[in-house]
Each structure stands twice: as structure tokens, then as C-alpha cells.
Amino acid sequence: MNIPHPYLMFLGDVQDQLGAKTAQGIVDWRRDWCLGQIRLEGCKADLGIPDMTIAAAAAAGQGARTLVVGVVNAGGVLPEHWTSVIVQAIDAGMDVASGLHTRLESIPAIAEAAARHGRQLFNVRHSDERFATGKGTKRPGRRLLTVGTDCSVGKKYTALALEKEMRARGMDADFRATGQTGVFISGRGVAIDAVVADFISGAVEWIAPAADPAHWDLIEGQGSLYHPSFAGVSLGLLHGAQPDAFVVCHEPTRTTMRGVQHPLPSIQEVIDLTIRCGQLTNPAIRPVGIAINTKAYGEDEARACLEAAAKAHGLPASDPIRFGVGEIIDRLTEEFATE
């Protein structure tokens, strides 16, 4: 997909910051592409960029070229009361891109407006590619997968931070997107949760194919093996990624997993289950680090949390955004230096 920018980020009326995580991810990694945000009454998310009306965004500079529906919700549905804003954007000359499961063209008013003005509709969560079933056959190249104790704990940000630092060190590494936000950021990839279940592992094999033995694919994880809603996606992703290494991502202030009442698993439980399940396609799978989102903590409390996790698990632990991923990459290169 080649989605024209600059973007106007549409947040609807989401009830928390995590509800706008697609838009937030784009702003964090592609700030220069984002002209402003449009929020409906009652919206409780804020990207920290200018609030704009459709008319103001269309008139600013060269004008916003694409309205990005930058929200996530259970089921990936497009609320009916958002339709009028999307139609206004199309009428103002913008294309529309969405990461929701609902296809934009399935809404008659949106489809009619796009046809009337000759505008493009991008359904980032849906791929036109046809995938084979996964084979689990060992393929050359190295792969690292980010896994989590829950949804929305930093798996994408960790993989992107690893790519950035590895490239800065002269290593051959690529971020591989498996969710709609990652696809927006990287311009390539597949939203795995929209792939028919039988083909999830095959789609991941397609995302991260055979490569040079020294090349690292940094594969964005999804959900959690312990999450009752999304474990199926997480397991298919794990088998298709065939990772040599993995990093566990964690948010330390949660007690239950997002959207359900099930208790949050421990980091050690995730390590153990990832190894046990991952050995099906890579018997040598191993953890190389822990990424903890310490945003809710002050400096001293954050460092104490990381030190405790590192000591408990014998792995480097860091907040990738706050403190970087240098120690995790040091461990990775040490682990695979002689292989």
C-alpha cells in the first residue's frame, strides 16, 4: 500500500489512550507525516498534535491527503456515528485509511462518497495476498519475536526500537509488521488477526522468509499466549515466526489482562510457555531480554523495577523508549556470536 500523506488522524470518541494506539504509534514513529488530529465530543485520547476540523486540515499547507481512522476496539468495528466525519473528509478531497476489521467500502455512504469523488479507501487490516499453510520447515536467516504478558504492552515499540538500534550498530535487521499500526509505520506487512486461522503461520512465514544467515527479522508480536481472546493468533504467529530469540514485553501496573477478568500471567510463565510452544518449529528458541513499559513510574521506581526483573530472570531488562535496548542487543549478539 502506498497511502498518501500528510495524515489527519481521526480518534473518534475513544475512551482511553490505548483506544487510539494505532494513531499514537504512527505519531511516535512518523511524526512528520501527521498534520493534526480530529476528535469527537467525549474523546479521552490526545496525540499531542494540533486539533483540526476537516476544513482546516484540507486548507493547511498542501492539505491533509488521507484521513487515518487511528483507533482500535473490540471486534474492529466502525461505529455508525463516525460515518459522517469520514464522508466529510472524502468530500474535502481526502482518501481514507482504516486499520479496523470493518471494510470502509462496506458502509454505503462511504463507498458512494469515494466513488463520487474518485478517492481511495485503504483497509490496512486486510490483505489481498493469498497465503499457504505454514510448513514449519527450518529456513535460513535469524528471527526475533516480541511476545507479551498481555495486549498493548509494547511489542511493536520494542521491535521497532530493536531495529533502530541494530541498524545503528551496522547490523542487517528489518522490522516485520504483523498488525495494522505496524503496517502504517513500515509500509509493508500483514495484519495477522485478519488472516483466516489456518493460514496464520503461513502468513508469518511469508512476512519473514528465508534470508541471509546474518540477517535478523524483528517480528512484531500480537496478543498473548495467555489471553483468552487472542491466544490463537499469538500461537500461530509464534509457530510461523520460528524465532531463534524472543523478548518478553510487560506492563507492571496491570493485574488483569485487557478486556477480560483473567489475571495477568507472570513474566516467567510467559517465558516458559513461549519456549514450550515455540520449540515445535525451532527447538533452539530462547529468551534474550525483557521489555517493561515503565511509563507509570518515576525514574527511581522504574530503574528498581527493571533491576528486579533482570535479577529474577537472569536477562537484561529495559524500557525500550525510556532507556533504550542496548543491553538486550548486547545479549543477543553474545548468544549468537558463535552460531
Write the DSSP assignment of 162-190 as a string of letters: HHHHHHHTT--EEEE--SHHHHHHHS---
Q: Using one digit for the tens of pLDDT, what is the confidence trace for 13-34? A: 999 998 998 999 999 998 999 9
Look up the pTM and report it. Answer: 0.85
Q: Using one digit for the tens of pLDDT, what is the confidence trace for 79-126? A: 999 999 999 999 999 999 998 989 999 999 999 999 999 999 999 988
Give the mean pLDDT of the chain: 95
Residues in the chain: 339
Q: Using one digit for the tens of pLDDT, what is the confidence trace for 261-285? A: 999 999 999 999 999 999 999 999 9
- The DSSP secondary-structure symbol of 279 reads T
Average of pLDDT values for 197-222?
97
CATH number for region 7-123: 3.40.50.720
CATH number for region 142-336: 3.40.50.300
User: Poorest-confidence range of 80-89, 179-188, 221-230?
Assistant: 179-188
Cis peptide before 50 (omega within 30 of 0): no
Residue ranges per domain, the chain?
Answer: 7-123, 142-336
Do the domains 7-123 and 142-336 sit in the same CATH topology, yes or no?
yes
Model confidence at 2: pLDDT above 80: no
- The DSSP secondary-structure symbol of 4 reads -
What is the predicted pLDDT for the residue at 277? 98
The neighbouring-strand residues paired with 66 are 7, 95
Between helix 326-336 and helix 155-168 the angle, nearest 10°, is 70
As a whole number of angstroms, the distance between CA 142 and CA 172 comes to 10
Model confidence at 58: pLDDT above 90: yes
Q: For residue 290, give the amino acid letter.
A: I
Average of pLDDT values for 200-215?
96
Average of pLDDT values for 217-232?
97
DSSP, collapsed to helix, strand or coil, labels residue 150 as coil
Check residues 99 and 209 and name the one with the higher pLDDT.
Answer: 209
The neighbouring-strand residues paired with 34 are 7
Model confidence at 330: pLDDT above 70: yes
DSSP β-ladder status, 121-123 and 216-219: unpaired
Confidence of residue 128 (pLDDT cuts 50, 70, 90): confident
- 61 is written with which cell numbers? 499547507
Residues above pLDDT 90, as percent of the chain = 87
As a whole number of angstroms, the distance between CA 281 and CA 277 comes to 9
Model confidence at 1: pLDDT above 80: no
Which of 30, 248, 275, 51 shows the shortest CA–CA distance to 150? 248
Neighbours of 214 (CB within 10 A): 12
